[in-house]
Structure 1
Amino acid sequence: MPEVTAPYKPGTPCWVDLMTSDQQAALDFYRDLFGWQGEIGPPEFGGYAMCLLNGRPVAGIMARTAPEGQPEPPVSWTTYLASDDVEATGSAIADAGGAILYPAMDVGTVGRMLVAADPTGAVFGVWQKVDFIGAGIVNEPGALVWNELNTGDTDAAGSFYHRAVGLRPATIQGMDGYFSLNVGDRTVGGMQPVPEYLAAGTPAHWMTYFSVDDTDSTVDALVRAGGSVVQPPFDMQSGRMAVVQDPQGAVFAVIASPDSP
């Protein structure tokens, strides 16, 4: 089991969470789909639910809220990038042309965070650990396995993330138009133009991928539970994947790698 115990290097995707309209329904849905265990948290943390897989944290689920007079944010998954200093990262984001949506704030004693948008419009979070490093299991069925930026301008986005958080884009042989995102010599994510299979006008965004044992059976279970299919299962270089939507509208991907159990 690939448990994570050391802090994530700055720029590495380290956590994902879901903002949704019905928190309990989402907890039930992902429990049945991925085997997660979680419950609505205490009011002082806004009810934030920490979801566990085999006793280790894998994702968060929270009810969406909006400041008074503002529209509610969309139901969506958010990718968080690790930072050693969230304030310094926020300044770098602004200097590189990004926008700070929620300034740096303390999250109890577990860490500090902010939420920003890159110059192409993709929203992401930044996480500075104190007591909590992020996902405690990755690359296992039911856990986070990949984070991918879909954007309308890969040149602008690649330059921004390199300057702001140290993510270096690189071309991938045999995958025209697709870029790896790297921290040092390690690939930690991907970037591509917004895929054609997504609805026309889909804005730039970070896509969350979860590992599964069997893509087709997972998609079947999702549909039976009220979810829908955006892109049916298909084979690609890294395995068999599908893009799906949960019953409340959050889009994510599932993938079974060739070496999955």
Structure 2
Amino acid sequence: MSDRYIAGVPCWIDLTPPDVDAAMAFYGGLFGWEFEERTPPSAPVRYAYARLEGETVAAIGSGEGEPAAWNSYVWVDDADAAVARAKSAGGEVVAAPVDLGPDGGVGRTATVRDAEGALLGLWQPRENRGAERVNAHGSLNFNDLHTRDSAAAGAFYGAVFGWDVIGVGDGQMWALPAYGDFLEQRNPGNRERQAEMGAPARFDEVVAALSPIPEDDADTATHWGVTFAVDDADAVVARASELGAEVVQGPVDLPWVRAAVIRDPQGAVFTASQFVPPA
């Protein structure tokens, strides 16, 4: 099968908690993930793929003393060139490009901080071609930049990835012009099906969301968040609570979805989103 992603599309997420085993127990209990250790027992850190029915959905790896957080990665053709673009656009290189796996065969990655402070990973794929399962229960559904300066964010990500900011309903999203054509070739009729459901113009090009942080919210830092698709948001909230998580918000009904924000037992925040087709 052809790749699911092209350059400029978020393709991978991982969690970096203080306690890998506890994180595995929580997300395994919540979503039914099974784990494949990718590092040898003698390695100083751990990294494990999370799978659903054999398909990769995410990874969990050892934290480096920082608070637990979900990290997003964007597919790039050349990690070094993407880092150079990020620096030119006012970003900071947090982790320089490095090859992963034996002989660098898994991929090449880097981490940058955007002009406002949000961390984002870059992924130049080799063996790992990104998450194999998305938009299904327990898998990645969306990545969302929470920002205080939408204009500055638009300039930065436009320069690095070629993204445009577009209006979708009352909100804003990131669009990659080439993505719509790619999806149409990969899944013929995609545009027509979206139009029949009432999707706005250019929705087929959307790669991520853009969420302004309210001016009266002094506590939230600029960051990239992750959303998981779920079949039943209320059931997931109940199960997360049983497993020791905190429900930060919801579930609430929004256009097209019923969603809740959850903080896992080690402090990493994510959104659970149930698709609700329009009546």
Same fold by TM-score, threshold 0.5 exceeded?
yes
Rounded Cα–Cα distance in structure 2 between residues aligned with 1:45 and 1:55: 26
Q: Secondary structure at the match of 1:38?
A: strand
TM-score (norm 1): 0.90
State the alpha-carbon separation in 2 of the partners of residues 168 and 257 from structure 1.
25
Q: How far apart, in 1, do the equivalents of 2:28 and 2:215 lie?
A: 30
Aligned residues: 247
Give the Cα separation in 2 of the matches to 1:123 and 1:144: 18
* Cα RMSD for the two superposed structures: 1.8
Would you say the 8 A contact 2:18–2:68 is kept in 1? yes
8 Å Cα contact 2:148-2:214 kept in structure 1: no
> Residues of 2 paired with 1:190 and 1:45: CA distance?
35
Aligned residues of 1:24 and 1:40 also touching (Cα < 8 A)? no
In structure 2, the residue matched to 1:160 is 156
Does residue 208 (structure 1) correspond to residue 218 (structure 2)? The answer is: no
Residue in 1 aligned with 2:58? 59
Residue 148 of structure 1, CA deviation: 0.6
CA positional deviation for 1:183:
1.4
Larger radius of gyration: 2
Find the aligned partners of 2:215 and 2:246 in 1 and give their Cα distance: 17
Distance 1:138 1:232, change over 3 A: same
Query: For the Cα contact (< 8 Å) 1:31–1:37, is it kept in 2?
Result: yes
Quick one: distance in 1 between partners of 2:28 and 2:2? 24
Question: How big is the shift at 1:45?
Answer: 8.1
Could you tell me which residue of structure 2 aligns to residue 73 of structure 1?
66
Tell me which residue corresponds to 1:190.
209
TM (normalized to structure 2)?
0.84
Aligned to 1:68: none
Give me the whole-angstrom Cα distance separating, in 1, the residues matched to 2:70 and 2:258.
21
Paired residue type of 2:206:
T
User: Which aligned runs of 4 or more in structure 1 are off by greater than 6 angstroms?
Assistant: none
Name the counterpart of 1:69.
none
Q: Secondary structure at the match of 1:119?
A: coil
Alignment partner of 2:97 out of 77, 100, 104: 104
Query: Which stretch of the first structure deviates more once superposed, 229-238 or 86-95?
Result: 229-238
How far, CA to CA, are the matches of 1:206 and 1:112 in structure 2? 20
Of 126-135 and 179-188, the range deviating more from structure 2:
179-188
Distance (whole Å) between structure 2 residues aligned to residue 216 and residue 37 of structure 1: 23
Amino acid at match of 2:74: L
CA drift at 1:98: 0.7
Identity of aligned residues (%): 37
Q: Which runs of 5+ in 1 are unaligned?
A: 66-71
